[in-house]
Structure 1
């Protein structure tokens, strides 16, 4: 069985075990991941954080774009998927953490990410957990950093606009279903395209 099919089966099993936690039946397409990462400067980042690493679709693309001296901290709450990430990526720049994204601050030791990549299923999370995670995002990125958020619905946009002065949105149609990509910055007007 090739890796692509095996990953789909692993993801489906994780979804079946905890659908609210995983939030999607299939991993995000590589094209949607590339479209999202194009909204940030991964190549210029010292620290990248990934929330909801899953089977590593985003992880592999992030590592391919990162500098040799940069670091990636990837959080994945599903222990089996976290173990898969450690096996799949033998890269000293990567630190896999099997924990909830709401505990991110505990794993950063006061550091802030230049790029934060978030693939959490916000619309299926319990409202209190969703709020706690969303409110932690602005604190987790550096003043000139960016939080890149991928969702399968635009519903989260108003919450992101409440937390970030600048939110840019793009739709990646090469994903099933189409993916909504958000680039959120703390600097007003930094890469903002208004209300799109």
Structure 2
């Protein structure tokens, strides 16, 4: 089991800063975040449950926000693995760079649409897992399709995309893109979330 550079749970002042930043950005971009507070520990555990941490060497996370899921991934990630997080919000990018100091972490300011180019730029092989909490239901259809198609192409043969959503709207797109899609539900979250495990 990998040893994390920093604890997965932030201490008092850092935790308050994390929550304040998240809430402030929720009011600025409610359709991009979907919730006023970060994901619950129950949702994070359910989302990451299928990951084979011994095998995974390249993990990509879309929309890490204030790093709630990012920290949990780092706490489980193999010492020789790499976590690439792609975030469009400059406030979140700055927060992640300031609050997380782990050599396995690569923070990218940009769009999930560029995943293939980013992996190539970093000299990384195909991803073992892509983790996403992006609001697929509220984004334009053409962007949603490009992200899902690019994610499918960026995954290795045994790769999987792990997604949580507050709306079931993306379900049909996932089934059109991936060979096999499993879904489950996490009620202990605000709001409750649907979780999808999409196999290449």
TM-score, length-normalised on structure 1?
A: 0.89
Following the alignment from structure 1 to structure 2, what is the Cα–Cα distance between the partners of residues 185 and 25? 30
* Residue 181 of structure 2 corresponds to residue 170 of structure 1: no
Selected match of 1:70 from 66, 78, 81:
81
Residue 145 (structure 1) shift: 0.8
* Partner residue, 1:90: 101
For the Cα contact (< 8 Å) 1:75–1:100, is it kept in 2?
yes
Following the alignment from structure 2 to structure 1, what is the Cα–Cα distance between the partners of residues 126 and 41? 26
TM-score, length-normalised on structure 2?
A: 0.87
1:105-144 paired onto structure 2 within 5 Å: 105-109=116-120, 111-144=125-158
Residue-pair matches, total: 186
Following the alignment from structure 1 to structure 2, what is the Cα–Cα distance between the partners of residues 43 and 82? 28
Selected match of 2:159 from 145, 148, 156:
145
For the Cα contact (< 8 Å) 2:59–2:128, is it kept in 1?
yes
Selected match of 2:35 from 10, 16, 24:
24
1:38-49 paired onto structure 2 within 5 Å: 38-49=49-60
Q: What is the SS of the residue equivalent to 1:55?
A: coil
Q: What is the SS of the residue equivalent to 2:152?
A: helix
Following the alignment from structure 2 to structure 1, what is the Cα–Cα distance between the partners of residues 17 and 82? 27
For the Cα contact (< 8 Å) 1:42–1:62, is it kept in 2?
no
Residue 10 (structure 1) shift: 1.0
Following the alignment from structure 1 to structure 2, what is the Cα–Cα distance between the partners of residues 172 and 4? 23
Unaligned 5+ residue runs, structure 1?
187-196
Unaligned 5+ residue runs, structure 2?
1-11
For the Cα contact (< 8 Å) 2:64–2:70, is it kept in 1?
yes
Which whole-Å deviations, capped at 9, do the CAs of 1:42-89 have from their partners, x for residues lacking one?
342010000011000110000011111100000111011011111111
* Residue 166 of structure 2 corresponds to residue 155 of structure 1: no
Following the alignment from structure 2 to structure 1, what is the Cα–Cα distance between the partners of residues 188 and 29? 26
> How large is the RMSD of aligned CA atoms in angstroms?
1.5
Which whole-Å deviations, capped at 9, do the CAs of 1:153-184 have from their partners, x for residues lacking one?
22211110110111011111111111111110
Which whole-Å deviations, capped at 9, do the CAs of 1:68-116 have from their partners, x for residues lacking one?
1100000111011011111111100000001111112221107311011
